[in-house]
């Protein structure tokens, strides 16, 4: 009888061990399923946001095309046109788009100054420094550059 009780104890421990292993495997599978579900949801949302961005870009392109057409046949853009005015946000499906167009033509890319071949850009930079009261020389310190950038950036 003592031998039978030991076998029952071993059988009970074996069943408990198998139950624990099955529980761990199932919980791991459920956790992975949940992660896969969230990853799929994020991919779908990312695609929707990308499509919203593309539609905002298409709307902005259309605004620019409508404003640049003039009666004289010339293509002219200026900040007084409709495209430069703040546009209200509009809904597309479950999303909202707020498009803000900015004229980047008057900005100066300081990284482009490293190219020695662009003399027009260097002349623009020299004029900008002169307008700001910074003595234009052939070699400028970083403090002069950052002063101009900090003064111009909002």
For residue 138 the two structure tokens come to 């052939």
Confidence of residue 149 (pLDDT cuts 50, 70, 90): low
Residue 154: the pLDDT is 46
pTM (two decimals): 0.54
Q: What is the DSSP string of 97-126?
A: E-------TT---GGGGG-TT-HHHHHHHH
pLDDT tens profile 95-124: 778 888 888 877 777 778 777 777 888 888
The percent of residues above 90 in pLDDT, for the chain, comes to 24
Q: Given a cut of 70, is residue 146 above it in pLDDT?
A: no
pLDDT (mean) for 63-89: 78
Cβ–Cβ < 8 Å for 51, 97 = no
Name beta bridge partners: 20: none
Q: How far apart are CA 35 and CA 30, in angstroms?
A: 9
Contact assessment for residue 125 and residue 138, using Cβ atoms and an 8 Å cutoff: no
Domain ranges of the chain: 2-97, 110-152
Reported in sequence order, the residue ranges of the chain that DSSP labels E, i.e. its strands, are: 90-92, 95-97
């Amino acid at each position: 009888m003592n031998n039978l009780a030991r076998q029952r104890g071993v059988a009970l421990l074996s069943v408990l061990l198998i139950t624990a292993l099955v529980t761990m495997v199932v919980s791991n599978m459920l956790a992975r399923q949940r992660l896969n579900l969230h990853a799929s949801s994020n991919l779908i949302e990312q695609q929707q946001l990308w499509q919203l961005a593309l539609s905002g870009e298409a709307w902005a392109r259309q605004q620019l095309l409508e404003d640049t057409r003039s009666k004289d046949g010339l293509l002219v853009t200026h900040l007084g046109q409709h495209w430069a005015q703040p546009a209200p946000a509009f809904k597309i499906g479950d999303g909202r788009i707020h498009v803000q167009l900015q004229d980047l033509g008057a900005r100066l890319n300081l990284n482009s100054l490293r190219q020695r071949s662009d003399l027009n850009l260097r002349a623009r930079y020299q004029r900008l420094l002169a307008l700001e009261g910074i003595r234009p020389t052939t070699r400028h310190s970083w403090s002069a550059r950052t002063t101009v950038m900090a003064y111009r950036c909002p």
